Structure 1
Amino acid sequence: MKKRVNLAACYFQKNYGSMLQAYALQEAVSSLGYEAENLRIDGIAREIRNKKLGYYARQLADWSVVKEKAGMVRKVWQKKRNKTFACNSQIRNRKFQEFQQSFFKVSPYFASKKAMGEYVKDCQAVIVGSDQLWLPSNITADYYTLNFVPLEVRKAAYATSFGVSNLPKRMHEFVANFLNRIDYVSVREEKGRELVASIAHREVPVVCDPTMLFAKEEWAKLIAPQKIIQDKYIFCYFLGNNFWQREIACKLREKTGYKIVSLLHMDEYVAADEFFPDIAPYDVGPAEFVNLIRNAEYVLTDSFHGTVFSALHGKDFFTFRRFSQKATLSTNSRMDSLFSLLGVPERLLDEHVNVEDMLKMCLDVDRVLARIEKLRRPSWAYIKQAIGD
């Protein structure tokens, strides 16, 4: 009988990157001969949500936080007043649900963290990862901290990201305590390594995002290739509402003659986007998302995982900064770390970019893939060590 490894991951989040990185971590652990099982959190979801709301309530004096979260509120409001958008959102949500039900193995239901803690006592290890699970709001919610896991149970963090460059000083003691309860800690970004060193006084490795553990050929086995759009196209995947990004996409369309395919209203409702793409499909789950990247001529994105899958598939991609460097909720540091890894900082762009200059850039795909492979090998070694035997 296979030994069970439980995963504290956001496999349920209706976000392409979140779901795909959780799937990649599950498949990585399974490939090592373990039974990988994601912990269900629906029984404690209200507790988690209330703690996160409490965190955001304390940030109301920070305009950058209010502005960022207002976009999500507008999206909810728009669903109530716009029947077409509500219907389209349901179509997209069903695709996420189908992927979740088809691709993930999940645990039984738990009514409390105590019950969850009892359940994991007989597993080989509990792994938290990856993505931005140690954002300040998630730390406050106290689930991805693994504090519910008994001390005697092996605990590991794989490529877990803080998402931000700094944490409030009032959180430092709590953060140091939970980090030092975890037997094996690894992070996804250099800034994360610096935070762990300064707060918990631990030297920890930087490993690759779970999605990068698998090469293009391996992803073809995990998610079957399929051509969704027959024409040549520019794939746009924007989570933010920066209008200048859309303008650049339109200029690239003018220069190339390719259609724009875009997934609209992901993190927030952006009214202007209704008139921006040539094709705006909603029946797109994580599998279709990967395939839209696979078959694109160009990819324009402000997304971490949009960038990762573009790089893995050797696409001509350009990534735009989503946040102001001064924004409290800015996650720019993870982009800086990713582009340092990929070795193509010139493809991380701001609003001053010129489309003619973009078209002149040549991507050395082999060099990018070699850099990913260089980090992939020690990342696999870390997972094996962290799980133990």
Structure 2
Amino acid sequence: MTENSNKPKIGIATNWQYPDYGGMIQAYASQLAVEALGCIVEVLDVSNLQSDIDARKMKYFMKNITDLSVVREKSSVVISSLRRKLPGEYSNGMRERRQAFAAFSSKSFSPSRAFDSWDDLSDSARSYNCVLVGSDQLWLPSNIMGDYYTLSFVPDDVRIANYATSFGVAAIPDYMKPQARVFLDRFDALSARESSGQRIIHDLTGKDVPLVCDPTLLIDAERWGRVAERNERIEGPYILCYLMGDNPYQREFIREIKRMTGYRIVQMPHLDRYIASDKDFADIRVYDADPAGFLGLVKNAALVCTDSFHGTIFSSIFNTPFFVFPRFTKKATLSTNTRIESLLNRLELTGRFVERGEAPEACLAREIDFGRLNAAIAGFRAESLDYLASALGVIK
């Protein structure tokens, strides 16, 4: 009998290999949190099934081909993919970033073997005490159509649960509601990361589910500090610009902050796609940071300016002053603004949200009560850990 034979074994379905800071770090946090509850953890390796998942997701985008906001968002991704093949700073930088992500993923995760087929994945699910679908926007409409993060492959006699899985949007399309209702009804434990997610689950299933924190908030600042790596090339106070959307007014706001403070702008450009206005924006552009390097940049910044959910979270965890901007317009079909708004409401940080037209001077005058913030995070963390232990069927 091995030392770990009596420990619960948990399989996590999450986005752990994609080169995205928030996605990879939340997946790592999920693994750390479940391990801390005394479990053996494997993140599921479905790389052999990814082409099939992507083909299913394409059905969603084709069905919404007349929705201009969807077309605009996805066409920019295609253009960025083509730009990566052209020589120059962008292609070189993207190559460095992807290599950094791959190295971090290789050393940080405990993966399962790569499954050969859906039947293989389904049969192997029986080796777990529970299969958990992780956080992030894994229940976006396109991912529901992809039918992997729904855990439909797990046999009925195996426990399934979710942790803070986000729909990413305020509402899912009417034609997808029957499919969503079917997969949600199979879960032994359900939670939401945003109030909009709570509402969606209640409307579809009649269940009132708890609001839990993103898995990155389950890990405290001291532990994240041990992961974070300082960028030795950057000296002096700086503004970390961590923007994923293409909103020029936000960059003008940041330039004005630079003028007022004298801080240099450090940017992680082209996070989600190529954005032309980023070309001559920053004093220092960082491409080669892995997730540990990203954490270090947030931790050591004088100020963070972001439109990112996880940029907001780690600024809060590290007590780094920050401003957060809306990434999408209110009418955008793929808008993910709701998750940031829900987080700011829960942590009593609504004053950090900057709308178009607000004066930088007035924003800088707003201070954060970090003692109150840390207490709010600690309380949210404790509630969420209680849910996670119960959802997995383990004793905390």
Counterpart of 1:147 (choices 112, 129, 152) is: 152
In structure 1, the partner of 2:200 is 195
Check whether the contact 2:26–2:214 (CA below 8 A) recurs between aligned residues.
yes
Pairing 1:39–2:44 present: yes
Pairing 1:26–2:31 present: yes
Q: Deviations over 1:207-234 (max 9, x none)?
A: 000000112112123x044353222100
Task: Report the alpha carbon displacement of residue 95 of structure 1 after superposing the two structures with TM.
Answer: 0.5
Q: How far apart in 1 are the matches of 2:78 and 2:229?
A: 35
Counterpart of 1:74 (choices 72, 79, 100) is: 79
Check whether the contact 1:121–1:150 (CA below 8 A) recurs between aligned residues.
yes
Pairing 1:377–2:382 present: yes
Q: How far apart in 1 are the matches of 2:334 and 2:87?
A: 29
Pairing 1:360–2:342 present: no
Counterpart of 1:210 (choices 201, 204, 215) is: 215
Secondary structure, counterpart of 2:246 in structure 1: coil
Check whether the contact 2:228–2:293 (CA below 8 A) recurs between aligned residues.
no
- 1:157 is aligned with what amino acid? N
Q: How far apart in 2 are the matches of 1:333 and 1:41?
A: 29
- 1:282 is aligned with what amino acid? Y
Task: Report the alpha carbon displacement of residue 18 of structure 1 after superposing the two structures with TM.
Answer: 0.3
Pairing 1:346–2:351 present: yes
Q: How far apart in 2 are the matches of 1:237 and 1:74?
A: 21
In structure 1, the partner of 2:263 is 258
Pairing 1:337–2:318 present: no
In structure 1, the partner of 2:97 is 92
- 2:172 is aligned with what amino acid? L
In structure 2, the partner of 1:315 is 320
In structure 1, the partner of 2:17 is 12
Check whether the contact 1:75–1:268 (CA below 8 A) recurs between aligned residues.
yes
Q: 1:145-294 residue pairs with structure 2 within 5 A? A: 145-221=150-226, 223-228=227-232, 229-294=234-299
Q: Deviations over 1:152-179 (max 9, x none)?
A: 1010100000011111111111111100
In structure 2, the partner of 1:107 is 112
Q: Deviations over 1:22-49 (max 9, x none)?
A: 0000000111111111000111100111
Q: How far apart in 2 are the matches of 1:143 and 1:335?
A: 25
Secondary structure, counterpart of 2:113 in structure 1: coil
Q: Deviations over 1:253-296 (max 9, x none)?
A: 10000100000111110122110000001110100000000000
Q: How far apart in 1 are the matches of 2:229 and 2:382?
A: 25
Unpaired runs of at least 5, structure 1? none
Q: How far apart in 1 are the matches of 2:340 and 2:385?
A: 22
Q: How far apart in 2 are the matches of 1:64 and 1:226?
A: 38
In structure 1, the partner of 2:57 is 52
Q: How far apart in 2 are the matches of 1:236 and 1:245?
A: 10
Check whether the contact 2:247–2:327 (CA below 8 A) recurs between aligned residues.
yes
The percentage of aligned residue pairs carrying the same residue is 40
Q: How far apart in 1 are the matches of 2:364 and 2:23?
A: 30
Q: How far apart in 1 are the matches of 2:210 and 2:328?
A: 27
Q: Please, what TM-score do these two structures have when normalized by structure 2? A: 0.96
Check whether the contact 1:341–1:372 (CA below 8 A) recurs between aligned residues.
no
Q: How far apart in 2 are the matches of 1:57 and 1:173?
A: 19
Task: Report the alpha carbon displacement of residue 83 of structure 1 after superposing the two structures with TM.
Answer: 3.2
- Regions of 4+ moved over 3 Å: none
Task: Report the alpha carbon displacement of residue 114 of structure 1 after superposing the two structures with TM.
Answer: 1.5
Q: How far apart in 1 are the matches of 2:176 and 2:276?
A: 37
Q: How far apart in 1 are the matches of 2:316 and 2:94?
A: 28
Task: Report the alpha carbon displacement of residue 79 of structure 1 after superposing the two structures with TM.
Answer: 1.6
Secondary structure, counterpart of 1:7 in structure 2: strand
The answer to which of 320-329 and 106-115 deviates more is 106-115
Pairing 1:301–2:320 present: no
Q: How far apart in 2 are the matches of 1:227 and 1:373?
A: 28
Q: How far apart in 2 are the matches of 1:359 and 1:126?
A: 45
The answer to which of 301-310 and 55-64 deviates more is 55-64
- 2:319 is aligned with what amino acid? G
Unpaired runs of at least 5, structure 2? none
Check whether the contact 2:192–2:212 (CA below 8 A) recurs between aligned residues.
yes
Check whether the contact 1:310–1:316 (CA below 8 A) recurs between aligned residues.
yes
Secondary structure, counterpart of 2:112 in structure 1: coil
Q: How far apart in 2 are the matches of 1:70 and 1:154?
A: 39
Q: How far apart in 2 are the matches of 1:84 and 1:160?
A: 35
Q: How far apart in 2 are the matches of 1:378 and 1:113?
A: 35
Q: How far apart in 2 are the matches of 1:378 and 1:344?
A: 19
